Amino acid sequence: MTLMTSWVESSNNAETPFPLNNLPYGVFSTNALEPRCGVAIGDMILDLAALEETGVLELNEEPVFDVPYWNDLMDLGPEAWDTLRARLTELLKTDSPEQAAVAPHLIPMAEARMEMPIVVSEYTDFYAGKHHAMNVGTMFRGPENALPPNWLHIPIGYNGRASSVVVSGTDIIRPNGQTKAPDADMPSFGPCKRLDIELEMGAIVGTSSTLGQPITVAEADAMIFGYVLLNDWSARDIQAWEYQPLGPFQAKAFATSISPWIVTRAALEPFRTSTPELEKDLLPYLREPGPMLYDIDLTISIEPEGGSEEVLARTNYNQMYYSAAQQLAHHASSGCAMTTGDLLGSGTISGPKKDERGSLLELSWGGKEPITLQDGSTRSFLNDGDTMHLTGQAQGDGYRIGFGACSGKILPAVKYP
């Protein structure tokens, strides 16, 4: 597929993340407008609430876009999703006869504030990137025991906190928690000293499944509304003390950031690719019926307070051992009901090389190999004032599909009395 052109001139640039091929969904506000559903096109946002109100966009008998979230549209199902995308393409394509009716409802991105695009029903995070799992396992258990015995058979995950999922640009307060030094008799309580990021993709579940009823991988794929970049902030020192035997708890519950734009499966369709070669055959219910991953380049950057942004790592979503569809199918395999607005974190995405690692834990090898920044300072983990940026794009023929940045600045921990 090549670049699709639009009468919105800024979307016809090969460098824009938001060409007509993309049409990602978000929620925005301005000084004059309450939060509402919008679509990114070039450097503009198309106000869907206004288009619906004027009658240019009619998708359902009842209004869908007069709310500050996309859950209502998601709940209508894939047929409605396809209808909306086709209608938006018709309205925005070059020589559209409805340009005059649409143009007044374009808002410059520079004048908008991005809000949470969905109401997150529930949040599940996975541990499904093999290079990450091998790196972390090797650090703590040695290479011979790096992967748990179930890892090559099952996408490991845990239930997180929907309440602490925030949109890009939200400041992240350093968490407090309980830690224990190896030579201490008792644990202590205070600010996290090993604050980290995890570069992930987030899959948004668009349609629900029924309690007690499993779903196939193909059905799971069709249920996914779209994808966002996701940073699962991690308090490594708190996690090390608390995680046995039930896994992460407070170390992961304080914040998870997502990018503001939901990139649909339809926009990503040209970039489908298969998961890497498996070490062991999966059980039938987890086998891919076709390519279920996407070729999406991903970047981690750090911006120290008062300094310049610099890249720490680059990798690709195609490194994941398990796809989001496999994760979703496994999630429902027990009969667990999945819900519109559920968010699934892919797990940290790392590649085989050092500069492809998706967390500071890996990049600094647990703090033993500190990273030297351009200003001469070093990092093993994050300092207060650091801003982390995750970016991602799928590169097509003369166009790209982008997500917008997933960013957050670290603020000092709250002081207890």
pLDDT score recorded for residue 252: 95
Q: What is the pLDDT confidence band of residue 61, given thresholds at 50, 70 and 90?
A: confident
Q: What is the pLDDT confidence band of residue 392, given thresholds at 50, 70 and 90?
A: very high
153 catalytically annotated: no
pLDDT score recorded for residue 55: 95
417 has a pLDDT exceeding 80: no
**Span 269-309, pLDDT tens digits:** 999 999 999 999 999 999 999 999 999 999 999 999 999 99
More confident residue, 36 or 182: 36
pLDDT score recorded for residue 1: 83
**Span 356-371, pLDDT tens digits:** 999 999 999 999 999 9
Task: Delimit the CATH 2.30.30.230 region(s) of the chain.
Answer: 9-115
Vertex 115, ends 111 and 119: CA angle to 5°? Answer: 160
Chain-centre distance for alpha carbon 166:
11
Architecture of domain 9-115: Roll (2.30)
Beta-ladder partners of 29: 113
92, 7 in Cβ contact below 8 A?
yes
What contacts 24+ positions apart, CB below 8 Å, involve 18-21? 18/42, 18/43, 18/261, 18/402, 19/399, 19/400, 19/401, 20/89, 20/92, 20/93, 21/267, 21/396, 21/399, 21/401
Q: Are strands 406-411 and 172-173 parallel, antiparallel or unpaired?
A: parallel
pLDDT score recorded for residue 184: 93
Share of the chain above pLDDT 70, in %: 100
pLDDT score recorded for residue 53: 96
Q: φ, ψ for residue 219 (rounded to 5)?
A: -65, -40
Q: What is the pLDDT confidence band of residue 60, given thresholds at 50, 70 and 90?
A: confident
pLDDT score recorded for residue 102: 98
**Span 187-223, pLDDT tens digits:** 999 999 999 999 999 999 999 999 999 999 999 999 9
pLDDT score recorded for residue 187: 95
Q: Is this structure's pTM higher than 0.75?
A: yes
- Rounded to whole angstroms, the Cα distance separating 23 from 41 reads 6
Q: What is the pLDDT confidence band of residue 328, given thresholds at 50, 70 and 90?
A: very high
Share of the chain above pLDDT 90, in %: 96
DSSP string, 110-167: GG-EEE-SS----EEEE---HHHHHHHHHHHH-GGG-S-TTTTTS--EEE--GGGEEE
Task: Delimit the CATH 3.90.850.10 region(s) of the chain.
Answer: 123-411
Identify the CATH homologous superfamily for domain 123-411: Fumarylacetoacetase-like, C-terminal domain (3.90.850.10)
Catalytic, out of 132, 330, 331, 389: 132
pLDDT score recorded for residue 353: 97
